[in-house]
Structure 1
Amino acid sequence: MSRYFYYHVIYVGLINIMLFVPWTLVHYRFNGAVSGMAIAAVAGTFLAYLTTSLYLRFPGMSLPDIVNSYLPRGFAVFLNLIGASLWVVAGILVIYSYSSTIQQFFNPDMNPYLFLLLMTAAGVWGASRSTRSVQFAQEIMLLISAPLIIMILFKAIFSPWLDWDAIRVTAGYVRTPPSFISFCAATFVFAGYNTLAVFNRLLPPGTQIRHRWIIPLVCSFFLLVSFFVPIGFHGTVGVAEYLYIWSVTADSMIMEYGFVYRVLYVFLLLYTALSLMFAMNTWHTAMEFIKACHPRHKPKPDQFPVSPANWWINLAFAGLTFGYALWTNEQRNQWVNQNWLIARTFSDVLAAVILGWLAVKAARRKRSPIPSEAASQDS
């Protein structure tokens, strides 16, 4: 079962491109991005180890189930609504950013809402499935797309057009005091463990997540590549001229495999699957947080057919996506992305603190005898 956990770690590390993490880091490349990344690698690894260990103390329970069981009803509903807001915004940002990228590089004259409609429709259908179905669909999509994406990353690393001098110059700014927004952006790459907020329901008692040393290795690789490779292709100054940094970087590479020549087309096709996977997971998680606010809700990870509430909640997410597309532009989207990255960092720390407190509370509850049992023993 632990392999499903690492699927989340991998796809979250890869999707950082669509959440403007490289753009944010490049923007602060001379002002603390490198040192912020170094600190984020340590902090992200620590949070990953701590949070996964705490979730394993509550086998078969999601984060909404845990807070509903150990906290007052009103406070639990408040936390669940905050969690739902963060998760649904993540899906909206990825779908909008990817739709904008497709329009920019494939057909600038295309109706901007056409591809957005297709993406949201697929996201609604996928997110409304049962938790176990979402997990199985994610496995299939990741096993198809991740190897090819990683191949493209290695092709970029070993490209003869990669300027290692530009990378060394940028890496030399490691002594610059870290930037807070760069730190928040970099920690997102390590945040795959957060999906246990719902998928922990599928872990039976006694489950152990082994080989967690993989997390810092894989996530640090994704972080370094997503930041330094565009600098190596476009230079320390020229890299800041692009908004869709990795799309332009992929278009700087070529393949000589039959009819496949421009890497950009393969890259965007693979990120179609990855973006849909991310939207499916985030909206499904947000849906479960919202459903947990109902006092009579009982989690059903294997529910079939799915509840009509699943459809209505995810249709509301789709409506919010179109509302966001009507309101936003490139500048506003960057601003929302950066503020979401900051809010997500605080929520990760808060979730770890709450889980630690509730784990202690649960341990004390198990040790203390039930009053009726204690009275019978005394008699």
Structure 2
Amino acid sequence: MTGEPRAADDGSGVPAAGEKRPAAAGEPRAAGDHVHATMRIVLVCATGVLQLGLSLHPVLVQDCRHRWLAVAAFAALAGVTAVCCGWVLRRRPLPGALVAAGTAVVLAASFCAAVALGPERRFGPADWSFGLVGWHLLLLLLDRVRVLVTVLAAHLAASMGMFLSAGVPDRSALGAAGAAAFAAVNVQLAVIVITRVLQQQTREAAPATAERDHLLTKVLTAQQWEQHQHSAFAGQLGSTLPLLAGLADGELDPRDPDTQRRCALAATQLRRLFAENDEVPDPLVHEVTACVDTAERRGVDVSFAVSGAAVPVPAQVRRELTGPVIAALSAARSRARVSVLRTDEEVRVAVVADAAADVAAAATARVRVEYGVYGDHLRLEAGWRTRQG
């Protein structure tokens, strides 16, 4: 089948078009990590603003039993936020040891702040630590939802227990405490729900985005391949048109051996160029066969031998390897022998023909060419090392 770019990179400067990138097993997890990293940046900013903007003033001005204990709890919570910033701002997951130690410090700081304030003032206007501790727990345990909900529930239960330990409150105090706890917990649960929704949407959008990128890559690859083919054909036709123009104008004599050799050379080059676009298992042998077929149409008796298993050869290297074949077969008078030898280390293409001694093919940076004349026969061999070094 022709007219389609090959899936593998053939060295023509065009990336693989048909090869679909396999889905990575960690893509859903990567999507979740991206959401958690973004949400943690929001949380670290919110926690810092809440602690410095709303909690610092009560710690400094309000009367409490043990001010030093409240100050120590405030400093511990600020320290946890500061330590987490090192990972959060780099969008990296928090280490497990940091999460465990930070959670313990936050819960201990909450207990110390409650003790310093007094259990009867828990959930009141002076209780700066209850809601703030929940934001610290969100920052630490956002990607561990079950643990986070468990710790938040335990923190709420412990706070309620401390509040009730001061005695049975009246209805107004109980209602105010319930409203404060409900408001704080609702906001924190809303953050968990929002994070889960964003994570799910990101996971659902990831395959669609990957497919869109894949299709865009295929379109760009096809465009590059088409431009490459246009350039290749334009270059080949550019060298053939003067020959055709000379024949049409009568400047070249079709009976002249040199003109016949030039026509044979142009025909072989075009046939090999057409064969380059065919979708075949062994492109090198296919292109050499195309050169052989063109020579046989001119009446040249060509024997063709292939040795070794097929190895991947880039398109540009195949052009350079088949150059001696084209040069020798286009100059062959009646007989030629072509051989292709492939190993794991080297690919060689050799031609022996009863051709003129002035036929030669130039070596390139990647392909070495050996040239020799033996009586009435010309031998050209091109070699390419599959492992450069």
TM-score of the alignment, normalized to the shorter chain, above 0.5: no
Higher relative contact order (CA 8 A, sep 6+): 1
Q: Return the structure number with greater helix share.
A: 1
Q: Return the structure number with greater strand share.
A: 2
| TM-score tier after normalising by the smaller chain length | under 0.3
Computing the radius of gyration over CA atoms, which structure comes out larger, 1 or 2? 2
